[in-house]
Structure 1
């Protein structure tokens, strides 16, 4: 770099060189030549000083420095920038120190054997191949900055594509999970509905079967009389009964109303029985006994087989009574008295 400061006052060998002054003054001491005063113009700020061919070889180094300062987006090869031409007066250039001896600069300059040796320039390859693929290098791509930019954009696009794919996969997975949850809910609802319908159908079928059973059973059973009124039920308390409570079911009806066999069976006994008046005991096939009491007359005898609905006697008021009625009792095979109304209802009859 040149300076606008005056040169030192020390004697200079340049004063006696041939070519300065007139030929007749060769033996005289010449005035000191100040290159700053004669050939250099004062300049402001930083500037570059032209140099001759001696330093031209260092232009590659300077060009590399310029390139190194450029970012990745504007990086260029040394080949793309022409060598910088710098020239200095021969008298000054011949006495400058060798560039290779300067600290920090000599190592950057390629040594040459002669002036005819070609000045090395930046390789045709990119300054950096960080952004180039092997294919790009083989094709001679030299714009490393643009290649790196393209590579970065490509990687960004790939990452964005991967992120979009992941997001889409996550959305699809969430949608599939939601659909599966909805399907499970619908399946649960359908299962519950099917179970409820099945249960209802089973209950309806059971009710129908029971109704059919009772209808069939009712066909084989019959009420003991008709045109009646229930006046006393099983278990009622009162002083009219020796046990303190009523032991049967009373069907109040006019005297002479037919008394019928509730089911087919065998007449176990028929006759007078104290407070029961005239009583007929009908034993069924399962051992159950039906007692018909207070009859005015009896139409069967012990040991006789009867069928459902056969007339076995007549309503009366014999024994301990307050009016004509049929007193009906039901006893299990072991002799225990049970509620006649519940027993008749259990046979499908409506009392």
Structure 2
């Protein structure tokens, strides 16, 4: 079976192979090799344009070190080189330039390591970058933060202290106001109680006075029931202590009841007749001794109906009004002597017994 021979392949090199004609035409098959590789610069550009990533761990480690040193994110001491393995993308293998030949990277790698894989950050000049650029500002920031925190804490403590002082002052004022109000209230209550006590004491005193007066009235009523006036239908003509030349002592020693002759004379209280008879200027006189020793003298009588030693009761008739002795007219001269013998006002004594003359 006959077959047509294959046409010789033609290749178009857009970059132009060395020694190739500038125009079209047939070209021999180009098999790249070491003698036909483009210079490292063109190869490097090809790699960059095709976005190829080298699989060499040494180059990748150096790239990580350069990135860390340029960005200031971490230090080479803390972040060791990391080997990254990528799948084969079917690209032709090419030799990349040495890491020390890369722009901006060769200065970071020691000249003693020709392969770039043994470069260490300890042999590099990154320490000033990491220590000076990161550590010193961080230290200053920490100091500034500490100083700011201390100032804020002092301000907070001062504000709290002032608030506490204001609260304490307000509490003290409230306490003082409450104590003052309580004192005023207590004083008002004490005054009210004192007023009430004074009024109650006055009422009690008045009630006691009324009770005493009532008791005295009752006593006098009882005495009046047991005492009697010495005569009736009389007129008081001379009182006790009245001065005058008619009396030998210079003053009147009794109480005179002027009444018609023969008017009955009564015992003022129950007692015993101590004496009854003539007594000089007193005329006919009866001395009645009461139970307490008091003596009542009845003088100027016209007649006597009792004798010495005779007991009589209140209101009993013991004689008659007369004008015997040193007199100017008929009347009853009444004298009262205490158990000691001293004379007293007959009108007052009779009043003390509930009798009014």
Q: TM class by shorter-chain length?
A: 0.5 to 0.7
Report how far residue 165 of structure 1 moved. Answer: 1.5
Matched, 1:259 2:265: yes
Verify the 8 A CA contact 1:131 1:151 in the aligned structure 2: no
CA pair 149-322 structure 1, distance change in 2 beyond 3 A: same
Partner of residue 345 from structure 1, selected from 348, 351, 355: 351
Alpha-carbon separation, structure 1, partners of 2:128 and 2:246? 158
Alpha-carbon separation, structure 1, partners of 2:303 and 2:328? 18
Match of 1:127 in 2: 145
Partner of residue 245 from structure 2, selected from 213, 233, 239: 239
Moved over 4 A (4+): 123-126, 129-132, 147-155
Aligned residues: 231
Verify the 8 A CA contact 1:221 1:347 in the aligned structure 2: yes
Report how far residue 116 of structure 1 moved. Answer: 4.3
CA pair 316-158 structure 1, distance change in 2 beyond 3 A: same
Alignment of 1:278-317 (within 5 A): 278-317=284-323
Alpha-carbon separation, structure 2, partners of 1:185 and 1:287? 55
Report how far residue 191 of structure 1 moved. Answer: 3.0
CA pair 163-314 structure 1, distance change in 2 beyond 3 A: same
Give TM-score, length-normalised by structure 2.
Answer: 0.57
Partner SS for 1:280: strand
Alpha-carbon separation, structure 1, partners of 2:130 and 2:249? 154
CA pair 270-128 structure 1, distance change in 2 beyond 3 A: same
Matched, 1:114 2:128: yes
Partner of residue 201 from structure 1, selected from 198, 207, 214: 207
CA RMSD of superposed structures (Å): 3.0
Verify the 8 A CA contact 1:215 1:348 in the aligned structure 2: yes
Matched, 1:219 2:219: no
Match of 1:332 in 2: 338
Report how far residue 126 of structure 1 moved. Answer: 6.4
Partner of residue 187 from structure 1, selected from 193, 204, 213: 193
Partner of residue 322 from structure 1, selected from 317, 328, 344: 328
Verify the 8 A CA contact 1:221 1:349 in the aligned structure 2: yes
Report how far residue 198 of structure 1 moved. Answer: 2.9
Verify the 8 A CA contact 1:131 1:149 in the aligned structure 2: no
Report how far residue 308 of structure 1 moved. Answer: 0.7
Alpha-carbon separation, structure 2, partners of 1:226 and 1:129? 124
Alpha-carbon separation, structure 1, partners of 2:148 and 2:351? 102
Over alpha carbons, which structure has the higher Rg? Answer: 2
Verify the 8 A CA contact 1:224 1:262 in the aligned structure 2: yes
Unaligned runs of 5+ in 2: 1-71, 73-125
Report how far residue 327 of structure 1 moved. Answer: 0.7
Match of 1:137 in 2: none
Alpha-carbon separation, structure 2, partners of 1:214 and 1:126? 111
Alpha-carbon separation, structure 2, partners of 1:317 and 1:255? 7
Partner SS for 2:324: coil
Alpha-carbon separation, structure 2, partners of 1:116 and 1:296? 160
Single out whichever of 172-181 and 303-312 deviates more from structure 2.
Answer: 172-181
- Give per-residue Cα distances to partners, 1:185-239, cap 9 Å, x unaligned: 2233333333333333333333332222222222211110112111011122222
Alpha-carbon separation, structure 2, partners of 1:243 and 1:162? 93
